Amino acid sequence: MRSVPDFSIEKNCGKKIVAGLDEAGRGPLCGPVVAGAVIFKKYNFEDMPVISDSKQMSEKQRDIAYDWITNNPDIVWAVAQCSNVEIDEMNILNASLTAMTRAMNKLNVKPEYCLVDGNKMPKDMIGESVVKGDAKSLSIAAASILAKVTRDRIMRELSKQFPQYDWEKNAGYPTQQHLQAIDKYGINEYYRKSYRPVKERLEKNDNS
């Protein structure tokens, strides 16, 4: 049975201003990793749409939730990213944590406590990491939706420049069709050159 996130962790952490943080885009071969940060100023909403782990939601559900979150005066939110170049420089884990720190710092209300999805906390961030947090905390789930929707929209925009890769459909993930497109059309400036499928192809080209 799938767990439904609620505000239990937020209410029980002993702090009033609690931010949820999550990222999207660790697995793709290209594009940025995007983080979301969300603070709910109150915990009772009569009109809240479906908010859950963004990966378990349909695109339509995510878009509805995104609009509700970003237009709600009782919610403080921000998104931030690390580019593919930064991912290659600092690795994807550090880039994900950096993107979350950037998102937290963009909030116009400073959180007293941060709930971070996963098992790692960014440096200098006060709070706790929550494994599978987007299935437990509504703040984290909301952050995951912001991150996922924002990143998908970035990849759709980039796809207009590079339609041959179908990024608007695969979001940069290493599908068979995507890998075939890379083999046919090559690697452009948005690819993560430290990722194995990309790195192997670059090395193969260098040795040919």
Q: What is the CATH number of the domain that holds 41?
A: 3.30.420.10
Within a domain: 14: yes
187 within a domain of the structure (yes/no): no
pLDDT value of position 1 = 47
Q: Is residue 35 part of a domain?
A: yes
**What's the confidence (pLDDT) of residue 3?**
74
Give the range of the structural domain holding residue 46, as residue numbers without chain letter. 8-155
pLDDT per residue over 159-180, tens digit each? 999 999 999 999 999 999 999 9
Residue 120 maps to a domain: yes
Q: What average pLDDT does the segment 80-102 reach?
A: 98
pLDDT band at 208 (very low <50, low <70, confident <90, very high): low
Give yes or no for residue 85 having a pLDDT over 50.
Answer: yes
pLDDT one-digit tens code per residue, 27-76: 999 999 999 999 999 999 999 999 998 989 999 999 999 999 999 999 99
List the structure tokens of 174: 């290493």
User: Which residues on neighbouring strands pair with residue 171, listed in sequence order?
Assistant: none
Residue 177 maps to a domain: no
Residue 169 lies in a domain: no
Domain contains 40: yes
Domains identified in the chain, total number: 1
SS3 94: helix
Q: Is residue 92 included in any domain, yes or no?
A: yes
H helical segments located in 20-172: 59-70, 84-90, 92-106, 138-161, 167-170
- Check residue 205 and give its pLDDT: 79
